[in-house]
Amino acid sequence: MIFIIAAYTVFGDRFGGALDEAARQFSRAFDSNLLPHEFVTDMRKQHKLIMGIGHRVKSINNPDKRVEIIKKFVMENFPSHPLLDYALQVEQVTTAKKPNLILNVDGCIAVCFVDLMRQCGCFTKEEAEEFINIGALNGVFVLGRSMGFIGHYLDQKRLKQGLYRHPWDDISYVMPELNGELPQ
């Protein structure tokens, strides 16, 4: 449990937090009736990254299979998917500039989660927004990381290996600036 809490506190907008922020950014742009190219231009003017867009390795020429699977599932099973459609239009704008500025797995999960919440008929738009604002998608991210952690633990026990412990002298802590003073 401590791992989960510690892991959650270090995830920023680019690692884990991208889910919630992508959901917010795309929803705001869509709800404001911004055209995809206006959204991209507006974000560039603000010198902000569009969360959920871009990948180091994957591109339009080398797509992420996870994104392809999620898109296919949503398009075949959701009654409608306006935010996913919007995000794919944004992707057309961004990939025209650089082929790796694709809708990544975080962005795809985020917009599909919003579509699910808004289109399923169980939640009002305000309730769906509240789930995003309280960090529900980051919670899903932490849940996935937790399952991976449990998997590693079970593998090590199954293989009769000792649990991995990283050397303490190799762990760095980020401490706030204290103006030369020692912490209390």
pLDDT number for residue 51: 95
pTM: 0.75
pLDDT number for residue 7: 45
Q: Are the C-beta atoms of residues 141 and 11 closer than 8 Å to each other?
A: yes
For residue 180, is it within any domain? Answer: no
For residue 152, is it within any domain? Answer: no
- What's the CA gap between 159 and 53, in Å, rounded? 39
For residue 65, is it within any domain? Answer: yes
Q: Are the C-beta atoms of residues 90 and 40 closer than 8 Å to each other?
A: yes
pLDDT for 169 beyond 80:
no
For residue 6, is it within any domain? Answer: yes
Q: What is the CATH number of the domain that holds 7?
A: 1.10.230.10
For residue 104, is it within any domain? Answer: yes
pLDDT for 3 beyond 80:
no
pLDDT number for residue 6: 43
For 115-126, how does the pLDDT look when each residue is reduced to its tens digit (9 = 90+)?
A: 999 999 999 989
For residue 183, is it within any domain? Answer: no
For residue 94, is it within any domain? Answer: yes
Residue 76 host element (H or E):
helix 65-77
Residue 58 sits in which domain range?
2-143
pLDDT category at 139 given cuts 50, 70, 90 is confident
For residue 47, is it within any domain? Answer: yes
pLDDT for 2 beyond 50:
no
Higher per-residue confidence, 54 vs 163? 54
| 5, burial (CB in 10 Å: exposed 0-12, middle 13-18, buried 19+) | exposed
Enter the tokens of residue 49. 């990254």
- Average pLDDT value for residue range 19-37: 96
- What's the CA gap between 46 and 62, in Å, rounded? 29
Q: Select from 92, 112, 105, 90 the least CA-distant residue to 40.
A: 90
Total domain count, the chain: 1
